[in-house]
């Protein structure tokens, strides 16, 4: 191990690295998770972070290894929302049997808070796609365009997540070669727009309506993708992304399978759960519904 590598540990309760990684959030699509050691490795800027979770989901610790340990510890704490009061979250959303069952099955699953650009890119890729292909496309883009991250001796150890400036010279054909398909045009437009017209990091995460309006000015970003970005790129828990899985799960769990219009679902959601925790309610509904549908197929 390089002499500059160091480590630290953070106590954490009600946390599951596995459930968090597997639940189709931005890190799912580009980080590398080892289920046997329960560790995850991912780039953050010019830093490579390795993090492991040890102990139980109720009471454990995360161990962080990196060259810049102070920055890495801050990144892990922020990205995995380790400061969230999960007891309060569970009390706020665990108001019915479906949600209580989802909380029990996926106890410790956190929402993640990621770089807004990173979040925007992966959720544009996610449209009409599955986790396996989203991950493949994202990893291909990183491998082709991501900046090299060096160790202490100047050796390349990983490629970082490319910024918009790293992709500005890429063509639609380049993105298609990465497997993006029809999304190639959106990715090309995204790189151009975010390099020349908008700084995603300067948008106000607390002004939900204005933030959503601004994000939807980006070609390829509709309501659902905008809400995903607001939730996982800006950390605004008032966002409640509704895709086919969420809609179907809510109809089945709360309306006896009767189809509902989107407005009816949003009215139901806004009345049922505390606005402070809507994002968490959505994630447990989404992942609980996805996993339940897979079990039904089996």
Q: Per-residue pLDDT tens for 68-117?
A: 999 999 999 999 999 999 999 999 999 999 999 999 999 999 999 999 99
Whether 16 is in a domain gets the answer yes
* Claim to verify: residue 218 and residue 158 sit in the same structural domain: yes
Lowest mean pLDDT among 11-15, 281-285, 290-294: 290-294
Residue 291: give the domain boundaries.
85-108+235-298
> How many CB atoms lie under 10 A from the CB of residue 154?
6
Whether 120 is in a domain gets the answer yes
For 244-256, write each residue's pLDDT tens digit.
989 999 999 999 9
Please provide residue 212's backbone torsions phi and psi, each rounded to the nearest 5 degrees. -65, -40
**Residues near 197 by beta carbon (within 8 Å), at least 6 away in sequence:** none
Whether 1 is in a domain gets the answer no
* Claim to verify: residue 136 and residue 172 sit in the same structural domain: yes
Q: Which of 112, 85, 10, 111 has its CA nearest to residue 53?
A: 10
* Claim to verify: residue 127 and residue 213 sit in the same structural domain: yes
Q: What angle do CA 117, 122, 124 make, to 5 degrees?
A: 95
Q: Which of 83, 100, 126 delimits the end of a domain? A: 83
pLDDT band at residue 122 using 50, 70 and 90 as cut-offs:
very high
How many distinct structural domains can be found in the chain?
3
User: What was the pLDDT predicted at 152?
Assistant: 78
> How many CB atoms lie under 10 A from the CB of residue 56?
13
User: What was the pLDDT predicted at 297?
Assistant: 39
pLDDT band at residue 298 using 50, 70 and 90 as cut-offs:
very low
| Residue 8: half-sphere exposure toward Cβ, Cα within 13 Å | 14
Q: What is the CATH number of the domain that holds 157?
A: 1.10.340.30
* Claim to verify: residue 227 and residue 246 sit in the same structural domain: no
User: What was the pLDDT predicted at 154?
Assistant: 83
pLDDT at 296 exceeding the cut of 70: no
* Claim to verify: residue 281 and residue 196 sit in the same structural domain: no
* Claim to verify: residue 73 and residue 145 sit in the same structural domain: no
The percent of residues in the chain predicted with pLDDT above 70, rounded, is 97
Please provide residue 95's backbone torsions phi and psi, each rounded to the nearest 5 degrees. -100, 0
* Claim to verify: residue 14 and residue 123 sit in the same structural domain: no
* Total-model pTM: 0.94
Whether 270 is in a domain gets the answer yes
Q: What is the CATH number of the domain that holds 249?
A: 1.10.1670.10
Question: Which two structure tokens, joined as six digits, stand for 39?
Answer: 């560790």
Q: Which of 215, 233, 251 delimits the end of a domain? A: 233
């Amino acid at each position: 191990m390089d002499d500059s590598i160091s480590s630290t540990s953070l106590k954490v309760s009600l946390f599951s690295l596995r459930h968090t990684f597997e639940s189709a959030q931005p890190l799912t699509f580009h980080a590398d998770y080892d289920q046997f050691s329960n560790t995850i490795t991912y780039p953050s800027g010019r830093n490579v972070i390795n993090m492991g979770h040890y102990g139980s989901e109720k009471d454990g610790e995360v161990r962080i290894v990196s060259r810049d340990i102070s920055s890495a510890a801050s990144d892990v704490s922020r990205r995995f929302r380790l400061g969230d009061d999960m007891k309060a979250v569970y009390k706020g959303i665990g108001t019915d049997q479906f949600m209580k069952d989802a909380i029990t099955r996926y106890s410790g699953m956190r929402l993640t808070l990621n770089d807004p650009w990173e979040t925007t890119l992966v959720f544009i890729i996610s449209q009409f796609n599955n986790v396996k292909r989203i991950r493949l496309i994202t990893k291909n883009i990183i491998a082709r365009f991501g900046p090299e991250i060096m160790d202490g001796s100047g050796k390349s150890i990983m490629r970082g997540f490319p910024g918009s400036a790293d992709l500005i010279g890429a063509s639609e054909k380049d993105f298609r070669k990465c497997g993006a398909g029809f999304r190639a045009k959106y990715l090309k437009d995204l790189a151009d727009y975010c390099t020349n017209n908008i700084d995603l990091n300067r948008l106000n995460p607390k002004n939900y309506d204005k933030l959503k309006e601004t994000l939807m000015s980006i070609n390829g970003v509709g309501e659902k993708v905008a809400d995903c970005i607001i939730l996982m790129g800006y950390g605004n828990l008032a966002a409640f992304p509704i895709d086919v899985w969420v809609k179907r799960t809510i109809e089945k769990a709360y309306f006896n399978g009767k189809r509902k219009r989107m407005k009816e679902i949003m009215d139901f959601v806004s009345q049922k759960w505390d606005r402070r925790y809507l994002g968490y309610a959505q994630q447990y509904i989404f992942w609980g519904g996805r996993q339940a549908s897979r079990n039904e197929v089996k």
